[in-house]
Amino acid sequence: MNKQLDSNTILAERDLQHIWHPCTQMHDHGMPGTGRVPMVPIVRGEGAWLYDADGRRYLDGVSSWWTNLFGHANPRIAAALAEQAQTLEHVIFAGFTHPPAIQLAERLVQLVPAGLDKVFFADNGSAAVEVALKMSFHYWLNQGHGEKTRFIALSGSYHGETLGALSVSDVALYRKIYAPLLLTPILTPSPDAYEGEPGESPAQVAARRLGDLRALLERHAHETCAVIVEPLVQCAGGMRMYHPDYLTGLRALCDEFDVHFIADEIAVGFGRTGTMFACEQAGVSPDFMCLSKGLTGGTLPLAVTLTTTRVYDAFYAEYASGKAFLHSHSYTGNPLACSTALATLDIFRDEPVLERNRALAAHLARRLEPLRDHPNVADVRQTGMIAAVELVADKASRCPFPAGERRGLRVYLHGLQHEALLRPLGNIVYFMPPYVVSEADIDHLVDVAKAGIAKALAD
């Protein structure tokens, strides 16, 4: 083995000396060189490709945790960032403001569904969810409804991993251990089409699940601040997808029962589902919308929680009334991050991104179609630039593989050996590439995934 100073081996060894990685059992990486899962040092990115220290490359099939839209080291975003870095890197955001934040707020308000006219900045997705939860509770308190302290979330939901965001999440992997520390949400069954009855259409599942939600609201609306959902796709919960009718019905129920509608578009915003925002497909405006991930094209951490003038006005009063919204992060509205978000919006403005995505998504669908007949594939589903293949032990009963067999991990390891970054969620192999992939790139991802699936099922 060539042990040059910047080789994969040396960098991985140094990493494992000190770094504790997210979403990782560090034991998988073992002592340097011995683990079953390699630590991959990436030294450069270009377009949809990542390059490691040994010069091997990987097609980023997961957009680096769903953040990247227009490729790594995107020249246009990098130029905006460089210019901003030489102008103003950061300034306190209380009592002070700056042009990138002002422009970004103006442009976001124009882009999002109507009525979301106020923008609160934060610096990551979980924080944006915390802001929405606190603001919703505080709104009701300021209106004289301090008895509203609870939140309704969907089964299978994921809204982040800080204690508040985790409280309204229902993915056992992340939640179970910390449950004693969390608020108890009121869970309503997800409209997830995969969980429908045999023969039931996605629209019928949505209608039935709206019935469940109505029943829950009849009992709990008096103590409920808001219903929080991931519009159209529950991503971390397994790329589970549902019909837009659910969002239309949810809007009507929230109005009828006087609770807020929080749309967490952190993963699905910015064109992922085929429209700029997923809520558009249901023609609804939520009371709160959380955005992060793609907001900066995947360049820097930034998040916003958008809300209505009606919510804003409930906090707007004489100082002595004590009604102000107090939530502060040191890096709120960071100008560098805002400049990369503006460059990202420029790309959406200047290029036919959604149109191009439609063609790419159609190509991906064509390539995945044959997998429907695979004896261990229970479902192939897609919403825009998100597609997922659900692997099961038994197709007829949809009985899953035991989680401990870690078959998805085998697909991941196969991908690393064949120039693809695919990172299945359990036994769900999914594709969520940057929008700059070519049809040939998609072919590559699908071919590697198919071979990886064959390997994962081999014993």
Ligand X SMILES: *Cc1c(COP(=O)(O)O)cnc(C)c1O
Binding ligand X by CB under 6 A: which of 62, 129, 171, 449?
A: 129
Place of tokens 């603001």: 135
The only residue of 105, 108, 253, 267 in contact with ligand X, by rule CB under 6 A: 267
Binding mask 79-118 for ligand X (x = CB under 6 A): ----------------------------------------
Phi-psi region of 121 (alpha: psi -120 to 50; beta: other; left: phi over 0): beta
Among 49, 93, 121, 158, binds ligand X (CB under 6 A): 158
Residues 348 and 448: their CA atoms lie apart, in Å, by 30
Cβ atoms of 35 and 9 closer than 8 Å: no
Q: Which stretch binds ligand X (CB under 6 A): 24-32, 108-116, 154-162, 249-257?
A: 154-162
Nearer to ligand X, 286 or 452 (CB): 286
**Interface pick for ligand X out of 84, 124, 136, 427 (rule CB under 6 A):** 124
Pick between residue 266 and residue 314 the one whose CB is nearest to ligand X.
Answer: 266
Burial of 222: CB neighbours in 10 Å, binned 0-12, 13-18, 19+: middle
Helices then strands, counting H and E runs in the chain, come out as 14, 16
Is the Cβ–Cβ distance between 229 and 250 less than 8 Å? yes
DSSP string, 69-113: SS-BT-HHHHHHHHHHHTT-S---SSS---HHHHHHHHHHHHHSS
Which residue number is nearest to ligand X in terms of Cβ?
125
CB hemisphere CA count around 413 (13 angstroms): 14
- Cα distance between residue 167 and residue 137, in whole Å: 14
Choose the binding region for ligand X from 125-133, 140-148, 202-210, 330-338 (rule: CB under 6 A). Answer: 125-133
Q: In sequence order, which residues have a C-beta less than 8 Å from that of residue 338 and are 6 or more positions away? A: 84, 98, 100, 101, 103, 104, 302
Residue of the chain from 126, 305, 382, 427 that contacts ligand X (CB under 6 A):
126
Shortest distance (Å) from residue 28 CB to ligand X: 21
Side by side, the strands of the sheet bearing 42-46 are 42-46, 49-52, 57-60, 420-421
Residue 406 touching ligand X (CB under 6 A): no
At residue 292, the 3 state secondary structure works out as coil
Task: Map the footprint of ligand X across residues 228-257, applying CB under 6 A.
Answer: 230, 235-236
Stretch that binds ligand X, among 46-54, 153-161, 183-191, 379-387 (CB under 6 A): 153-161
Rounded least distance, CB 298 to ligand X, Å:
11
Signed CA dihedral, 360, 276, 295, 263: sign only: negative
**Least distance to ligand X, CB of residue 230, Å:** 5
* Among residues 60, 264, 287, 379, the one that binds ligand X under rule CB under 6 A: 264
Q: Strand order of the sheet with strand 386-391?
A: 377-383, 386-391, 428-431
Indicate the residue among 8 and 383 with the shorter CB distance to ligand X.
Answer: 383
Interaction between residue 276 and ligand X (CB under 6 A): no
Is residue 133 close enough to count as binding ligand X by CB under 6 A? no
Cβ 249 to ligand X shortest distance, Å: 20
| Region 171-230 residues binding ligand X, contact defined as CB under 6 A | 230
Q: CB 124 → ligand X: shortest distance, Å?
A: 4
Cβ nearer to ligand X, comparing 305 with 308? 305
Indicate the burial class of 207 (C-beta count within 10 angstroms; 0-12, 13-18, 19 or more). middle
The C-alpha atoms of residue 443 and residue 82 are separated, in whole angstroms, by: 35
Judged by CB under 6 A, which of 159, 240, 251, 406 binds ligand X? 159
Look-up: residue for tokens 């969390």? 182
Distance, CA of 395 to CA of 376 (rounded, Å)? 6
- Kindly write out the interface string for residues 29-68 of this chain, putting x where it contacts ligand X by CB under 6 A and - elsewhere: ----------------------------------------
* 266 in contact with ligand X (CB under 6 A): yes
Q: Which residues bind ligand X (CB under 6 A)?
A: 124-126, 129, 158-160, 230, 235-236, 264, 266-267, 292
